[in-house]
């Protein structure tokens, strides 16, 4: 059977007789013509569209967690903000940039009553949070031991140690 004859003629799936390919019904048994090749083609097109939509959806779903992860990375826990939230606003809050480079900054919070100077740094990127470098005596500028700090600024003990 040539390709041309297969297109021109159709075979009834019910009575298995051949008839004109243009007919919608089998002239022998009257059953509706089964357009097998077209049906398969249509099915594969639908499948391709479904797969494409699935791929698009997958992309959207796959992108969502990665943007969320990025948001978490750019907003690390800010230890300076945490100290202020537990101990209240400092008497002095100064940001100095020794090197002049953006992001390479030192921030010192001074609690005059407790005589504590909390020093933070913000390396890498300005979008990063302040990280505690140490707790110092306001006058001598020497690091305070955990015991001394607990006595002077008990609220600070709730914060992570440097
Ligand atoms: Zn038939």
Tens digits of pLDDT across the chain (162 residues): 444 544 578 888 889 888 887 788 888 898 887 555 555 555 677 788 888 888 888 877 776 655 555 555 545 568 898 899 899 999 999 988 877 776 678 899 999 999 999 999 876 665 668 888 999 999 999 999 989 999 999 988 765 555
147 and 120 within one domain: yes
Q: Which of 39, 3, 6, 30 is nearest to 20 (CA)?
A: 6
Distance in Å, CA 30 to ligand 1 centroid:
6
Task: State in Å: Cα 20 to ligand 1 middle.
Answer: 12
In the reported structure, the alpha carbon of residue 162 is separated from the centroid of ligand 1 by a whole-number distance in angstroms of: 87
* CA–CA gap between residue 83 and residue 99 (Å, rounded): 25
**pLDDT at residue 125, rounded to an integer:** 60
Would you give the DSSP letter of residue 117?
Answer: E
My answer on whether 48 and 106 are in the same domain is: no
- Total number of domains constituting the chain: 3
- 56 lies in the same domain as 113: no
Q: How far is the CA of 50 from the centre of ligand 1 (A)?
A: 34
Same domain, 95 and 113: yes
CA 5 to centroid of ligand 1, rounded, Å: 18
Q: What distance in angstroms lies between residue 6's CA and the mean position of ligand 1's atoms?
A: 16
Residues 102 and 133 in one domain: yes
CA distances from 96 to 3, 103, 107, 122, 125 (A): 84, 11, 6, 11, 15
Q: Say how many Å lie between the CA of residue 16 and the centre of ligand 1.
A: 6
Which residues, 6+ apart, have CB-to-CB distance to 109 below 8 Å? Answer: 80, 83, 84, 90, 92, 93, 117, 118, 120
Whether residue 92 is found in the same domain as residue 50: no
Closest CA to 117 of 91, 79, 154: 91
Is residue 145 within 8 A of residue 97, CB to CB? The reply is no
Q: What is the domain extent for residue 28?
A: 1-34
Kindly state whether residues 70 and 84 are assigned to the same domain: no
pLDDT reported for residue 121: 87
Does residue 103 sit in the same domain as residue 141? yes
Predicted local confidence at residue 1, as pLDDT: 47
CA–CA separation, 91 vs 111, rounded Å? 5
CA–centroid distance, residue 146 to ligand 1 (Å):
95
Give 18 Cα–ligand 1 centroid separation in angstroms: 8
Query: Ligand 1 centre from 19 Cα, in Å?
Result: 9
Same domain, 52 and 93: no
The pTM (predicted TM-score) of the whole model is 0.49
What pLDDT sits at residue 12? Answer: 85
Is residue 105 domain-shared with residue 135, that is, in the same domain?
yes
């Amino acid at each position: 059977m040539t390709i041309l004859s297969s297109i021109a003629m159709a075979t009834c799936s019910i009575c298995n007789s051949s008839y004109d390919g243009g007919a919608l019904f089998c002239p022998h048994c009257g059953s509706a013509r089964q357009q097998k090749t077209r049906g398969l083609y249509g099915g594969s097109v639908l499948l391709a569209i479904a797969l494409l939509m699935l791929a698009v959806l997958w992309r959207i779903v796959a992108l969502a967690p990665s943007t969320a992860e990025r948001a978490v990375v750019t907003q690390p826990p800010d230890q300076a903000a945490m100290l202020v939230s537990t101990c209240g606003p400092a008497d002095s809050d100064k940001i100095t940039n020794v090197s002049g480079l953006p992001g390479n900054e030192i921030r010192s919070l001074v609690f005059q009553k407790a005589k504590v100077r909390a020093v933070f740094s913000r390396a890498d990127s300005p979008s990063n949070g302040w990280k505690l470098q140490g707790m110092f005596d306001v006058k001598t500028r020497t690091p305070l031991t955990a015991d001394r700090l607990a006595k002077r600024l008990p609220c600070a003990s709730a914060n992570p140690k440097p």
